[in-house]
């Protein structure tokens, strides 16, 4: 088991890691709209989603992986009515490779975020 740590995505700010690799599977923690320097982008769900997707790329790049290594994503939305907005940006991000995905509305996301995405990748 190996801990993933990269400066290309926001650092873990609690009792968790950016990711854990076990037997070639990498389980990345959920990303919200923080920059790698730890600044919250706030704003609209689109602004936050763009930053989340940048963070996912940072986690992948920092692990010597790319989007084609992603096998599953889970999207958490503060408001399911934002699904189409997030889905449009997500579709642009994963337009060549389509991992499995779930999307759910949740009661709350840390720091008042509107969207959080976690992913699993395979080396």
CATH number, residue 37:
3.30.1330.40
Rounded CA separation 115/106 (Å): 10
Rounded CA separation 18/10 (Å): 8
**In the chain, how many domains are there?**
1
Over range 83-88, report the average pLDDT. Answer: 98
- Which residues form the domain of 73? 2-122
Over range 93-97, report the average pLDDT. Answer: 91
What's the whole-model pTM score? Answer: 0.96
Beta-bridge partner residues of 118: 74
Distances in whole angstroms, Cα of residue 80 to Cα of each of 24, 43, 67, 96: 33, 17, 25, 25
- Considering the chain, what is the average pLDDT of its residues? 96
Rounded CA separation 103/114 (Å): 13
| Catalytic residue, candidates 103, 109, 120, 122 | 103
DSSP string covering 108-121: --GGG-SEEEEEEE
Q: For this structure, is 103 an active site residue?
A: yes
What pLDDT digit, counting tens, does each position of 60-79 carry?
999 999 999 999 999 999 99
């Amino acid at each position: 088991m190996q801990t993933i740590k990269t400066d290309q995505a926001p650092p873990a700010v609690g009792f968790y890691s950016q990711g854990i690799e076990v037997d070639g599977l990498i389980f990345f923690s959920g990303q919200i709209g923080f920059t790698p320097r730890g600044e919250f982008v706030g704003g609209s769900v689109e602004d936050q989603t763009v930053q989340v997707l940048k963070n996912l790329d940072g986690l992948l790049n920092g692990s010597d992986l790319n989007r084609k290594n992603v096998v599953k994503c889970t999207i958490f939305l503060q408001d399911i009515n934002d699904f189409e907005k997030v889905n449009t940006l997500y579709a642009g991000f994963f337009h060549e490779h389509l991992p499995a995905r779930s999307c759910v509305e949740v009661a709350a996301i840390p720091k008042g975020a509107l969207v959080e995405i976690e992913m699993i990748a395979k080396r």
